[in-house]
Amino acid sequence: MGELDPAFIQDTDQRPNLEISDAFDDEFPIIDFSSAPGDVVLQIGQACKDWGFFQVVNHGVPLELLAKVEDLGRRFFALSAEEKRKVKRDEVNAMGYHDGENTKNVRDWKEVFDFLVEDRTAIPASLEPDDQELRILINQWPLHPPEFREVCQEYAREVEKLAYKLSELIAQSLGLPKSRLNGFFKGQTSLVRLNYYPPCPFPDLALGVGRHKDASALTILAQDSVGGLQIRRKSDHQWVPVKPTPNAFIINVGDAVQVWSNDKYESVEHRVVVNSVKERFSVPFFFFPGHQVMLKPLEEILNGDSPRYREYNWGKFLATRNRSDFKKQAVENIQISHVRIEQK
C-alpha cells in the first residue's frame, strides 16, 4: 500500500490507544455448539448481555472450505493493482474491490473485496422516504484466481446456514419462538467481505478499521492467527483484544438486534489494529435484513414497556449509511441513536 499517508493520523480520536493492555480477557465467552442445546441458548443469552460478542466452535462450517477462501483471498490480493482494479467498485456498483478509502476521505490500512450473498440484490435507489424505486446490485468477480467465485459462493452458503442458526438461538435466548427473526431476512442484503491488512510501518498511528458499531443483525467473523480485533468491553469501556481461537468464528450482535430487543442486547463498539511485521486476513459475513423490512422493537419483547426506537426502513437506513462512500460528504454517519426515542 506504499508509505503511510499523513491523512491516517488526522483524526486523533481514531488512533490506537497506546496505553491499552495486550492481555487477552480470559472471560471472553467461547461457546461450543456441540453442547446441549439448552446450555447453548443460555450461554448465548448471557454473552449477548455481558459482551455483545462471543466465539463459537464446532459450528458446522467446513474448515477446509474456510482455508480455501483464505488461500484464494490472499492470492487475489497479491495480484497487480491493475488486475484488481478490473473489479473495482464504483458509485454505480458498490460490490467488488476497494483499497480502504473511507467516508472521511481517510484510508483504513487494508484492501477489501465485497460480494453479495444473493446476487442481484435490491436496495433503494434514493434516500427519499416516499421513493419506492429500487436499484439492483450485482457481484463483480475477478478472472483470477480461477476458483475464486465458486469457492466464495460456497462459503457464503455455508455461513448463511450458521447465521440462521445463530438468529434462532438468539431469538430463543430472548424468550421468542426460534423462527421469530427468520422472516426479516427474506430478500436479504447480506454480504461477505474479504479483508487484507498488509504490514504497517507505523502501527501506533494507523488503524486497520476505525472504531464503529455494525448495522447488521449479526456479524460472523473468521480471522487468522495474527488477530487484531479489539472490542470496547461493556464492564469498564476499556479496549481489549480478542484472542484468536483456532477453528472458531467471532460473533457480534449488530444494531438490528439491539433495536429488535429494545436494548436488551447491545451492539458493541469495536476496531481493528494493524501489525508492523505480519499481514492479516479476515472474512466477516454481515447478516442484513431485506431492504423492505421495517425495523422496530418487537411487541413480544416490549410486553407493555415503551419502545426505545422509532420504526425505520432497513433499506433506506443502509443506503443512508453508505451515501458518503463516493461523494465524500462531510456529514455524520447515521446511527440507530438517530432513531432513538428519548425516555422521560
DSSP letters, 105-151, are S-B-S-EEEEEESSSSEEEESSS-TT---EEEE-----SSSTTHHHH
Query: So what's the pLDDT on residue 56?
Result: 98
User: How large is the average pLDDT for residues 236-243?
Assistant: 92
Q: HEC states along 58-115?
A: CCCCCHHHHHHHHHHHHHHHCCCHHHHHHHECCCCCCCEEECCECCCCCECCCEEEEE
User: How large is the average pLDDT for residues 112-128?
Assistant: 90
CA distance 317 to 66: 31
- In one-letter notation, the amino acid at residue 156 is A
User: How large is the average pLDDT for residues 227-244?
Assistant: 92
User: How large is the average pLDDT for residues 290-295?
Assistant: 96
Report pLDDT digits (tens) over 242-263: 999 999 999 999 999 999 999 9
Report pLDDT digits (tens) over 36-88: 999 999 999 999 999 999 999 999 999 999 999 999 999 999 999 999 999 99
CATH architecture of 6-338: Sandwich (2.60)
Query: So what's the pLDDT on residue 330?
Result: 45
Confidence of residue 24 (pLDDT cuts 50, 70, 90): low
- Nine cell digits for residue 118: 444473493
What lies within 8 Å, CB to CB, of 204 at 6+ separation is 15, 16, 18
Query: So what's the pLDDT on residue 207?
Result: 76
Confidence of residue 333 (pLDDT cuts 50, 70, 90): low
25 has pLDDT over 90: no
CA distance 325 to 218: 22
Pairing of strands 280-287, 218-223: antiparallel
Domain boundaries of the chain, sorted by first residue = 6-338
198 has pLDDT over 50: yes
Write the CA distances from 96 to 6, 81, 85, integer angstroms.
26, 13, 9
Query: So what's the pLDDT on residue 9?
Result: 43
- DSSP lists the bridge partners of residue 219 as 252, 286
- Nine cell digits for residue 29: 465467552
329 has pLDDT over 50: no
